[in-house]
């Protein structure tokens, strides 16, 4: 276990490790009501295509065969709803998030859409589920907010059944010459300004941009997944390297 003296990063700001989660919670509590709208504006709607690719990789059965999905840091239910829409009657889904405001928004959306999805308050570093209880564990644009990344990966591995699939969709720091300069200019200038206009919180979206730059590169995350025990680990960059989809199995 980490000591209280260990540090982490909240964006570019170095903070005590034990303080990071509360800071991240504050970000999402403040923007929860406009979170999905901001995703559309920031990505030009591309996040929908990226999430559809993730759901295709989950490949939920279209039959009545039992299949259990856990979406970690799933807040507003976006991934779970997409999986349920693509799946057969045997699929059940749970969304776990540490932020109550995000869970409330997701539950309201589920009721309105008629989806039977469980919304559970919990921490990615200590999942409140028994070992080998899910066929698939997903996390989309949430893992970079976890203070102890290795611990979250270990928990995802623990709750997967043998043959279960872990999928992680996350932003990357673009390293394509020329495009990286344009992307940085957009990220550090336009996105915080959008956050101020749409949510009234510029600093929240400045943190989100900075957190992408601090997050491990795709090959490093793949190494961490292998060290956790995941097999057949791979990743695919998309949209000129803006995002990457990591895949690993518990075999």
pLDDT given at position 2: 41
Distance CA 164, CA 67 (A): 10
In this structure, is residue 217 part of a structural domain? yes
What is the CB neighbour count within 10 angstroms for residue 149?
19
For residue 8, is it within any domain? no
Work out the number of other CB atoms within 10 angstroms of the CB of residue 213.
Answer: 16
Task: Give the bridge partners for 169, in sequence order.
Answer: 140, 245
Q: How many domains does the chain have?
A: 1
Domain of residue 206: give its range. 26-250
pLDDT for residue 29:
58
The CATH number covering residue 122 comes to: 3.40.50.150
Chain mean position to CA 214 = 15
Strands (E), the chain: 7-10, 13-16, 67-72, 91-97, 117-121, 134-140, 160-171, 231-238, 243-250
Which pLDDT score is estimated for 196? 81
Residue 3 located in a structural domain: no
Buried b (16+ CB within 10 A) or exposed e, 117-137: bebeebbbbebebeeebbbbb
Digitized pLDDT (tens) for each residue of the chain, 251 residues in all: 444 446 665 555 565 666 566 656 555 555 556 666 776 777 777 889 999 999 999 999 999 999 999 999 998 899 999 999 999 999 999 999 988 888 998 999 999 989 999 999 999 999 999 999 999 999 999 998 888 999 999 999 999 999 999 999 999 878 788 888 888 888 888 887 877 887 777 777 787 888 888 889 999 999 999 999 999 999 999 998 899 999 999 99
Q: Which residues share a beta bridge with 249?
A: 165, 231
């Amino acid at each position: 276990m980490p000591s209280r003296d260990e540090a982490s990063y909240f964006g570019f700001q170095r903070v005590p490790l034990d303080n990071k989660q509360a800071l991240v919670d504050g970000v999402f509590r403040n923007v929860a009501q406009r979170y999905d709208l901001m995703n559309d504006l920031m990505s030009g709607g591309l996040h929908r295509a990226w999430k559809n690719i993730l759901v295709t990789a989950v490949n939920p059965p279209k039959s009545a065969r039992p299949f259990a999905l856990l979406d970690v840091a799933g807040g507003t239910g976006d991934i779970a709803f997409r999986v349920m829409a693509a799946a057969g009657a045997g699929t059940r889904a749970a969304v776990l998030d540490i932020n109550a405001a995000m869970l409330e928004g997701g539950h309201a959306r589920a009721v309105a859409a008629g989806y039977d999805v469980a919304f559970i308050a919990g921490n990615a570093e200590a999942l409140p589920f028994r070992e080998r209880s899910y066929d698939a564990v997903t996390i989309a644009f949430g893992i970079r907010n976890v203070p102890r990344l290795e611990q979250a990966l270990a928990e995802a591995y623990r709750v997967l059944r043998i043959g279960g699939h872990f999928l992680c969709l996350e932003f990357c720091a673009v390293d394509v010459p020329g495009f990286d300069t344009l992307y940085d200019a957009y990220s550090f200038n336009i996105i915080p300004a959008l956050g101020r206009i749409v949510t009234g919180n510029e600093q929240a979206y400045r943190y989100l941009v900075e957190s992408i730059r601090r997050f491990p590169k795709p090959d490093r995350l793949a190494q961490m997944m292998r060290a956790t025990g995941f097999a057949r680990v791979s990743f695919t960059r998309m949209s000129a390297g803006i995002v990457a989809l990591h895949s690993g199995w518990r075999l």
